[in-house]
Amino acid sequence: MSSSTQSVTVIGLGPMGQAMAAAFLDHGYAVTVWNRTASRADDLVARGAVLAPSVEEALAANEVVILSLTDYAAMYDVLEPTATALAGRVLVNLSSDTPEQARAAARWAVERGAVQLTGGITVPPSGVGQSASSTFYSGPREVFDKHRLVLEVVTGRTDYRGEDPGLAALFYQLGMVMFWTSMLSYWQAIALARANGLAAADILQHATDTANSLPGFFAFYAERIDAGRHLGDVDRLAMGMASVEHVLHTNADAGVDTALPTAVARLFRRGMDAGHAADSFSSLVELLKKAEA
Ligand code: NDP
């Protein structure tokens, strides 16, 4: 087995795993790879990576094993049959999934003599190997510290969130809940613009300015929310209710899909019904803290 600081194994060669293996090659590492579809290793092998003939041999090659699979179910598909080959391995799991899946997988790894570092990587393949990119990690601190230099090849910055293996996945999902919803709001704006004869390019600057204004709101409301204060001194939910209904009707009038603005208006309506009309719309956080009965 090779030294953990000089060599790694990468299992899973989708766009992300390929970029990771390439980054390790760029840094002079000896890289062993394995992928269900072996042909996806061709370019890496041409650059000097070793394609292991089996998962067992990929695991035997190195202490540090980077996993970049679609989800944790794929990990079980790949690793469950290997049984004893996991003993002594550090599984750096950069596959995305839920915090609960990450915790269960960490326990599963320990039962097989391995240890998991959960990773939450928030950049696309082009950001892999870049010094400015960052990845969330959680799991045993001493394992993270020992292998930090290896992790810094994947992204130049590492953001260790704590021992709980679910934390890195949680931070990843916190970003994703905002990413998907925000991008969907952008698609909605483009659909509305197009229904009015405008192209995406015509609203790009306005969309960018709107998005850039959000961090100021994040900071302003974070302090108040943590203090449990939803004062209606700057905005009132009743005002927001009227505004989101304007948004809903603007979309309906244009004949575009109203699923998203309807869902937004429904949440505001629930806040109104719960008696928050005179409070800030940040009071919706209290509503969102538990699932609707
Ligand atoms: P892909 O889904 O394109 O590929 C992941 C790999 O998983 C492939 O090598 C695929 O093998 C393998 N795989 C999937 N299912 C199975 C299975 N049942 N058995 C064996 N192998 C399996 O993912 P990406 O490379 O795009 O991403 C990897 C992870 O990183 C994902 O969890 C993703 O959410 C996350 N991520 C992705 C980003 C992106 O921009 N792409 C950005 C940030 C995070 P095969 O080649 O044989 O199909």
Separation of alpha carbons 16 and 173, rounded Å: 18
Stretch among 73-77, 83-87, 259-263, 264-268 having the lowest mean pLDDT: 83-87
Q: What is the pLDDT of residue 290?
A: 87
**Non-local CB neighbours of 119 within 8 Å, separated by 6+ positions:** 92, 93, 94, 135, 136, 137, 151, 154, 168
Q: What is the pLDDT of residue 146?
A: 97
Backbone angles phi, psi at 120, to 5 degrees: -130, 100
Percentage of the chain lying above the pLDDT 90 cut: 96
Q: What is the pLDDT of residue 292?
A: 80
Separation of alpha carbons 117 and 140, rounded Å: 7
Query: From the CB of 128, is ligand 1 less than 6 Å away?
Result: no
Atom 25 of ligand 1 has which residue's CA nearest to it? 14
Longest Cα–Cα distance in the chain: 66
Name beta bridge partners: 160.
137
Sheet holding 90-93, edge to edge: 50-51, 30-34, 7-11, 64-67, 90-93, 115-121, 134-138, 157-162
What digits encode the pLDDT tens for the residues 156-185? 999 999 999 999 999 999 999 999 999 999
Range(s) within the chain of domains with CATH label 3.40.50.720: 7-163
| Overall average pLDDT of the 262-282 stretch | 97
Q: Return the residue matching tokens 């905002």.
A: 178
CA distances from 256 to 3, 15, 120, 243 (A): 58, 34, 35, 18
CA nearest to 29, candidates 12, 51, 4, 63: 4
Choice from 9, 16, 123 to test ligand 1 binding pocket (greatest atom count within 8 A of CB): 16
pLDDT averaged over the chain? Answer: 96
Range(s) within the chain of domains with CATH label 1.10.1040.10: 170-288
Name beta bridge partners: 65.
9, 91
Q: Is residue 2 scored above 90 in pLDDT?
A: no
CATH superfamily of 170-288: N-(1-d-carboxylethyl)-l-norvaline Dehydrogenase; domain 2 (1.10.1040.10)
Query: From the CB of 75, is ligand 1 less than 6 Å away?
Result: no
Instruction: Label residue 255 by pLDDT band (50, 70, 90).
Output: very high
Q: How far is the CA of 270 from the centre of ligand 1 (A)?
A: 39
Q: Does domain 7-163 have CATH number 3.40.50.2300?
A: no
Q: How far is the CA of 265 from the centre of ligand 1 (A)?
A: 36
